[in-house]
A = this chain, B = another copy of it.
Amino acid sequence: MTITITAFERSPDGGKGLVRDTRVRWALEEAGLPYEVRLVSFRAMKEAAHLALHPFGQIPTYEEGDLALFETGAIVLHIAERQPGPLFPADANARARAITWMFAALNTIEPPILELVIVKFTEGDKPWKDERLLLVQDRVRARLTQLAARLGDAEWLDGGFSAGDLLMVSVLLRLRSSGLLSEFPSLAAYVARGEARPAYQRAFAAQLAINTAPLAAGWGATPRH
């Protein structure tokens, strides 16, 4: 059965790979699963057809036969269960710990990082912007300090590379432009190890190609493999 994901017709980051379809592409590449991409415009994202797939009007979504999923974490988990080798360890306890890191990435590390985006852009014209930016940066630093303490000098968060690392690296990547990541050299090196994986490189190149292609050519379902 064909796997189809959705992505922005034009990504707001211009192809830096920070948008969430890159996480799903990366998981699919690690799993060696071919997929197609349906590009969605900002207008179409808020229309009924897309809202039936994604009630919060976002991307990515995942369709495979009768199954339709949204939420990047759930999609990556589904891919990891469908093709566990590259994304989940064989041992059941190690797998439960990998899932713990998936939730930690999305629920503990990412929220203050998204607040950085909100204070810079959504609240960018507010008089409190500069003072609040310092507060949010400190919230991010507190989490990174704890994460770096746990990672220590290990290569990945718990044994071999897993879907937990895939999401954690993806979340930390968003920090690079803020300068905060480089305050934590071990985390910066961890992110670089993730980016160096061939599957990440393929995922990044695929989203970049769409975001740099002429619009008309990028419209519609685009086979990826």
Contact = CB atoms under 8 A, between A and B. Distances in A.
Given A71-B108, A78-B96, 5 more contacts: A69-B100, A74-B100, A77-B103, A123-B135, A126-B131
Given A123-B135, A127-B128, A132-B123, A78 B107 contact: no
Interface of A, secondary structure class, is: helix
A150 interface: yes
Query: Within the oligomer, what is the number of copies of this chain?
Result: 2
Given A103-B106, A106-B106, A127-B128, A74 B56 contact: no
Contact of A56 (B66, B72, B143): B143
A161 B159 CA distance: 35
Contacts of A114: 111
B128 A71 contact: no
A42 B149 CA distance: 20
Contacts of A57: 146
A147 interface: yes
A195 to B, nearest CB: 23
B123 A96 contact: no
A135 B129 CA distance: 14
Nearest to A127: B128
